Amino acid sequence: MAQIDPTAIVSSEAAIASDVVIGAWSIVGPNVTIGAGTVIGPFMRIEGPVTIGERNRFFGQASVGTEPQDLKFKGERTELVIGNDNVFREFVTLNRGTVGGGGITTIGSSNFFMAYSHVAHDCHVGDNTIFANNATLAGHVEVGDYATVGAFSAVHQFCRVGDHAFIGGATICTQDVLPYVKTVGSRPAKSYGINHIGLERKGFQKETIEALQRAYRILVRSKLRLEDALMRIESELGYSAEAQYMAEFVRGAKRGFIR
């Protein structure tokens, strides 16, 4: 049987794995699924429809699956889906999607959310990301794998954060954030080159980092027109999948990108 504190309120319409732990004074509503090995701390609030995978850890005082903070929301059925092995610290807030945004908010696996971080409606977070304290996503934001969002940073709605991007503390991102790159600052934020130390720590080869540095210089530091810079990256760095991804990421930018 699941270990449910006697003060917790768990809906009979929730599906709870047999080894889930639910702490004191937590509330789990209907249409909530919680996978094996997950620990729900005290004073939690989980509203469905929500699907939570396996071995997740919620430290408590968090709000999960609540209605989107969107004036257009009229009570439609939308959902939040969370993968496996994530850590959510105190006072994290995770909202469900909206019909206009596809109806679903998704969070992958092996992510670490520090206290007071926020994921708004219709966001899609990949795997192995880090959200520092008070990191905030507005609606419809996409965050790639292994990205880091620094403390007190905010990402504007409909923006994208690329794989392995590093956003420094107190940064305001109103355009897409380049993958592999350090981005820091408030209105305007600026990029400060490839995060070579972080990439080295993650096991990236020297040749890959050098290719990314070349791609960054062509894209940001050269005086080429954007299309010419992208064509040069694609032609000169075709051997690097990471450099090609950077070029593809920029081509898909609808709000522009932070240089």
> Would you give the distance in Å from CA 149 to the centre of its chain?
8
Determine which one of 35, 48, 122, 163 is catalytic. 122
Does 126 reside within a domain?
Answer: yes
Q: Which residues pair with 95 in a beta bridge?
A: 66
For residue 210, what pLDDT is reported? 98
> Is 139 known to be catalytic?
yes
Does 162 reside within a domain?
Answer: no
* Whether 225 contacts 197, CB under 8 Å: no
> Is 121 known to be catalytic?
yes
Determine which one of 139, 144, 150, 162 is catalytic. 139
Q: Mapping DSSP to helix (H, G, I), strand (E, B) and coil, where does residue 251 land?
A: helix
Does 154 reside within a domain?
Answer: no
* Same domain flag for 15 and 81: yes
* Same domain flag for 203 and 136: no
Regions of the chain short of the pLDDT cut 50: none
Residue 14: how many other CB atoms lie within 10 Å: 19
* Same domain flag for 24 and 134: yes
Helix 206-216 / helix 241-251 crossing angle, nearest 10 deg: 30
Does 38 reside within a domain?
Answer: yes
* Whether 223 contacts 251, CB under 8 Å: no
Concatenated DSSP letters of 122-182: T-EE-SS-EE-TT-EE-TT-EE-TT-EE-TT-EE-TT-EE-TT-EEPTT-EE-SBB-TTEE
Residue 207: how many other CB atoms lie within 10 Å: 10
For residue 187, what pLDDT is reported? 87
Does 256 reside within a domain?
Answer: no
| CA nearest to 15, candidates 64, 44, 51, 69 | 51
Residue 209: how many other CB atoms lie within 10 Å: 19
For residue 85, what pLDDT is reported? 99
Does 147 reside within a domain?
Answer: no
* Same domain flag for 18 and 136: yes
For residue 112, what pLDDT is reported? 98
For residue 21, what pLDDT is reported? 98
Structure-block tokens of residue 142: 């996409």
Does 188 reside within a domain?
Answer: no
Q: Which domain holds residue 31?
A: 3-140
Determine which one of 118, 121, 140, 164 is catalytic. 121
* Same domain flag for 93 and 208: no
Q: By CB neighbour count within 10 A (0-12 exposed, 13-18 middle, 19+ buried), where does 178 fall?
A: buried
For residue 1, what pLDDT is reported? 77
Residue 100 DSSP code? G
Give kind and range of the element (H or E) at residue 56.
none
* Same domain flag for 233 and 124: no
Instruction: Identify the domain boundary among 121, 140, 159.
Output: 140
Q: Mapping DSSP to helix (H, G, I), strand (E, B) and coil, where does residue 120 land?
A: coil
pTM (2 decimals)? 0.96
Domains in the chain: how many in total? 2
pLDDT digits (tens, 9 = 90+) for 192-247: 999 999 999 999 999 999 999 999 999 999 999 999 999 999 999 999 999 999 99
In whole angstroms, give the CA distance from residue 60 to residue 21.
Answer: 12
Give kind and range of the element (H or E) at residue 240.
none
Does 258 reside within a domain?
Answer: no
CA atoms within 13 A on the CB side of 224: 16
Can you give the CATH number for the domain in which 237 is found? Answer: 1.20.1180.10
> Is 122 known to be catalytic?
yes
